[in-house]
């Protein structure tokens, strides 16, 4: 996967169209609640500024359904970027057309502008070539620093690279490839993967892929209850997925699929750990009645909301012994404070370990930020779905589209 990098480009006086990932969470008043992705883009933006280039930033935010929606404006991102850079970032309220051309013509060396949400135009998600050509028109070259959307064949990820050469990877994208690639190619052993979140079906293919690579697989979150039910363990009213659609459109029982995964893991000597205790609640709410129950004790009508303290301890020991750890997905409903302990325990265990630690996925990233340990994680990935597809061994369109390097 040798691709041209930003360090290989002559940026002096060049208009660089930079695909960043400013898909940041906003509160009801439009304030950014987590600027991790904006901060992650700073090395690439600063390199362009320092080299005398002109940075034209493009991104999406949210799901505005192909038309302008002020709720999803990137104006707050422009304000935050200005604060982080310590200089004005010009915001343009469209991403193609006359306003963009006018703003670019006024740029001087070292200037930065941010264009409005790409998804205000239906051509972005459709991968429309005419839209990609419009995006490319004001620029001399293309830099992709948006790993979070590298698994999407959108106009700004793939189409633009066909119109603008060279097309290079920014520093963030290169870092993502380096760390995630190391998990696949030559990890420090033992290699431990921690997977959580709500749905097994979203992660079946990555689980199947990891079974051939990891030494231990730790399962948490709501997806653990599908595993436990497949193992014959009572899970009360906990969320369990029943079926998934197969590659040929057939219906497959998830419990059957999970049993097959566990069988193959056993054959390959891969240790799969499931929760041995839980924090259960009588209904899905922060003020619910709660109790800690053993692995085989979630009673009828109650829901598992978090891994229990013994599970957190066991998982923490596995992390302590690991050489490399990849974590994607929370251990419980951590958005509700009473059910955050398991997820926070995993975050602290990662921070305290000597392992190469890689965290991917929006919820997991939020957890390490909330726990205050993000600066003690080796690599916090900006891609959730992209990191999983990368670990599955899939070709990511946004990376494949970049110019090959002879280095």
Q: How far apart are CA 104 and CA 341, in angstroms?
A: 49
User: In which residue are the tokens 């192909």 written?
Assistant: 66
Catalytic residue among 3, 15, 19, 37: 37
Q: Are strands 277-281 and 90-92 parallel, antiparallel or unpaired?
A: unpaired
Q: How far apart are CA 343 and CA 223, in angstroms?
A: 14
Catalytic residue among 159, 170, 196, 385: 385
37 included as an active-site residue: yes
Catalytic residue among 362, 383, 384, 398: 362
Cα Rg of the chain (Å, integer): 22
98 included as an active-site residue: no
| Residues whose CB falls within 8 Å of the CB of residue 394, separated by 6 or more in sequence, listed in order | 151
Tally of CA atoms within 13 A in the half-sphere of 369 that contains its CB: 17
220 included as an active-site residue: no
Catalytic residue among 14, 39, 79, 199: 199
Own/partner pairs, 265-271, CB within 8 angstroms, 24+ separation? 265/211, 265/217, 268/211, 268/212, 270/211, 270/214, 270/215, 270/216, 270/217, 271/215, 271/216, 271/217
Contact (Cβ atoms closer than 8 angstroms) between residue 54 and residue 107: yes
385: left (phi over 0), alpha (psi -120 to 50) or beta: alpha
199 included as an active-site residue: yes
Please list the active-site residues: 37, 199, 362, 385
């Amino acid at each position: 996967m040798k691709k041209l990098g930003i360090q290989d480009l002559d940026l002096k006086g060049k208009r660089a169209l930079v695909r960043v990932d400013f898909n940041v969470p906003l509160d009801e008043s439009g304030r950014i609640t987590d600027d991790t992705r904006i901060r992650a883009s700073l090395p690439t933006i600063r390199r362009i500024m320092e080299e005398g280039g002109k940075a034209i930033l493009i991104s999406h935010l949210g799901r505005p359904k192909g038309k302008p929606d002020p709720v999803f404006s990137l104006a707050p991102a422009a304000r935050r970027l200005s604060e982080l850079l310590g200089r004005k970032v010009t915001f343009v309220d469209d991403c193609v057309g006359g306003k963009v051309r006018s703003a670019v013509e006024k740029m001087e060396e070292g200037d930065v502008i941010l264009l409005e949400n790409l998804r205000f135009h239906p051509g972005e998600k459709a991968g429309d070539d005419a839209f990609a050509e419009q995006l490319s028109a004001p620029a001399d070259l293309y830099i992709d620093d948006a790993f979070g959307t590298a698994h999407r064949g959108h106009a700004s990820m793939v189409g633009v690279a066909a119109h603008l050469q060279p097309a290079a990877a920014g520093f963030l994208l290169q870092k993502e490839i380096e760390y995630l690639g190391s998990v696949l190619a030559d990890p420090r052993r033992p290699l431990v993967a921690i997977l959580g979140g709500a749905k097994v079906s979203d992660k079946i293919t990555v689980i199947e892929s990891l079974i051939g690579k990891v030494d231990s697989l730790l399962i948490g979150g709501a997806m653990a209850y599908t595993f436990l039910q497949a193992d014959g363990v009572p899970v009360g009213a906990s969320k369990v997925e029943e079926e998934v659609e197969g590659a040929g459109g057939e219906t497959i029982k998830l419990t059957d699929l999970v049993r097959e995964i566990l069988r193959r893991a056993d054959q390959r000597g891969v240790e799969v750990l499931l929760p041995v205790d839980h924090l259960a609640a009588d209904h899905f709410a922060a003020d619910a009645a709660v109790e800690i129950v053993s692995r085989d004790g979630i009673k009828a009508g109650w829901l598992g909301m978090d891994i229990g303290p013994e599970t957190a301890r066991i998982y923490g020991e596995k992390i302590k012994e690991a050489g490399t750890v990849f974590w994607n997905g929370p251990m419980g409903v951590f958005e509700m404070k009473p059910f955050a302990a398991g997820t926070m325990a995993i975050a602290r265990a990662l921070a305290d370990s000597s392992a190469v630690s890689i965290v991917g996925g929006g919820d997991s990233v939020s957890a390490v930020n909330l726990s205050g340990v993000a600066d003690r994680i080796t690599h916090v990935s900006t891609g959730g779905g992209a990191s999983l597809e990368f670990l599955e061994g899939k070709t990511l369109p946004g990376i494949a589209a970049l110019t090959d390097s002879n280095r």
